[in-house]
């Protein structure tokens, strides 16, 4: 075997091993880890509140809301949903949104705001989609 052929074969094997290691690591990481852990998720929640309060499509729904409690509950919920080290002890989504008369447009606006917040926090789009997919089934309990 010529040296250049051997070198190419070794490089190919090294690349395959590296790709396998990266794939295996991504597969074993929780979504919480893929998001970036506590620091990034807390940043996203903080950004989300800023964006949401500036969004005239939905900000009225948060008038009078204790924002510190809201951020704590939202962080806990997202952390738990993404297999992080948290437990969510807040109300279920049906009870929490009862009487608010949230429609699909408002739900979609909130989702857009969350995407924007995750983006600002540096969460990769593919990972954002995974988190949003976990939240999507809640629409039936939130939209009235």
Long-range CB pairs of 127-130 (<8 Å, 24+ gap) are 127/31, 127/34, 127/35, 130/31, 130/34
Give residue 99's pLDDT.
Answer: 73
Q: What does the pLDDT look like over 59-102, one tens digit per residue?
A: 998 888 999 999 999 999 999 999 999 999 988 888 888 877 88
Q: Bridge-partner residues for 143, per DSSP?
A: 102
All domains in the chain, ordered by first residue: 30-142 (1.10.490.10)
Q: Residues 29-49: pLDDT tens digits?
A: 999 999 999 999 999 999 999
Which position has the higher pLDDT, 19 or 29? 29
């Amino acid at each position: 075997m010529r040296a250049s052929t051997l070198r190419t074969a070794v490089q190919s094997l090294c690349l395959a091993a590296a790709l396998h290691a990266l794939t295996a690591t991504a597969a074993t990481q929780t979504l919480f880890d893929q998001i970036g852990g506590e620091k990034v998720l807390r940043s996203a929640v903080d950004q989300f509140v800023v964006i949401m309060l500036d969004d005239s499509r939905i900000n009225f729904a948060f008038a009078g809301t204790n924002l510190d409690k809201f951020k704590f509950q939202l962080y806990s919920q997202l952390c738990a949903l993404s297999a992080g080290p948290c437990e969510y002890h807040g109300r279920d989504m049906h009870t929490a949104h009862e009487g608010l008369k949230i429609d699909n447009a408002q739900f979609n606006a909130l989702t857009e705001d969350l995407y924007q917040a995750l983006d600002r926090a540096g969460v990769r789009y593919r990972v954002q989609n995974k988190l949003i997919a976990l939240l999507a089934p809640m629409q039936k309990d939130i939209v009235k």
